[in-house]
Amino acid sequence: MTPLVLIPGLACTAEMFAPQIAALSPRRPVSAASTLKGDGMAQMAAAILREAPPRFALGGASMGGYIAFEVLRQAPERVERLALISTTARPDAPEQTVQRQNLIDRVEAGELETLLLEVSPRLVHPLHKDDRALIDTQVRMGLEIGADGFVRQQKASIARVDSRPDLPGIRIPTLVLVGDRDPLTPPIRSREMADVLSDAHLVIVPECGHASTLEQPQAVNAALEEWLSA
């Protein structure tokens, strides 16, 4: 079976994909890549490619999607299929860059844990903002990434290129998945990718925010299973 490589989002570790690894690994090799090697998207992608199998299915969530686009630019022949989860092909808008810089300033001032506790409930569906286990997981992952990793990932996200011009050239089976109440990369961003990709399947997960892999793991697992077997 084709190995699956999953790339976590910003301030996230392999724990972001714990439900998917548990569900999918009995039938194929599944690994979560590190996003802590390199200062920019190109360097992160190159580091992932050095450790990845010769050919693989690739899934990226949020910032992991930005890196996945870079993986495709560097080694398209190695990627058999693509999953874009809670992400966008667009670069940062100016106001997003300002928001990221504010977060960087706070973390550099020693506020990482405070910021994670503040921001995490805002990323999930309103029904899940009081889910202590879910919020604790997000905070735990962010603390494991650490202040230096957080800052480097934010700077890499600010500097990322516009991947929309690349979408028509992606001709592999592609899953585009997003939560119906994703506040960071809303469904309209997923629809615009799916409309341009040549072989895309769009899944909008109900009662789900930005942390789809943890908020609605069964729905995400089912979509991934279908994508991998198509």
Is 97 part of any domain? no
Give the whole-angstrom CA distance, residue 177 versus residue 193.
Answer: 10
Structure-token pair, residue 181: 């109440």
Is 223 part of any domain? yes
Is 185 part of any domain? yes
- Segments forming the whole domain that contains residue 188: 4-92+157-229
Give the whole-angstrom CA distance, residue 17 versus residue 212.
Answer: 10
CATH code at 198? 3.40.50.1820
Is 122 part of any domain? no
Is 222 part of any domain? yes
Say how many domains are in the chain: 1
Is 43 part of any domain? yes
Is 100 part of any domain? no
Give the whole-angstrom CA distance, residue 105 versus residue 90.
Answer: 24
pTM: 0.97
- Output the pLDDT for position 230: 82
Structure-token pair, residue 23: 């569900």
DSSP state of 171: -
Among 33, 3, 41, smallest CA distance to 156 is for 41
pLDDT tens, per residue, the chain with 230 residues:
899 999 999 999 999 999 999 999 999 999 999 999 999 999 999 999 999 999 999 999 999 999 999 999 999 999 999 999 999 999 999 999 999 999 999 999 999 999 999 999 999 999 999 999 999 999 999 999 999 999 999 999 999 999 999 999 999 999 999 999 999 999 999 999 999 999 999 999 999 999 999 999 999 999 999 999 98
- Output the pLDDT for position 44: 98
- Output the pLDDT for position 191: 98
Is 173 part of any domain? yes
E strands along the chain, which residues?
Answer: 4-7, 30-32, 56-61, 79-85, 174-179, 200-205
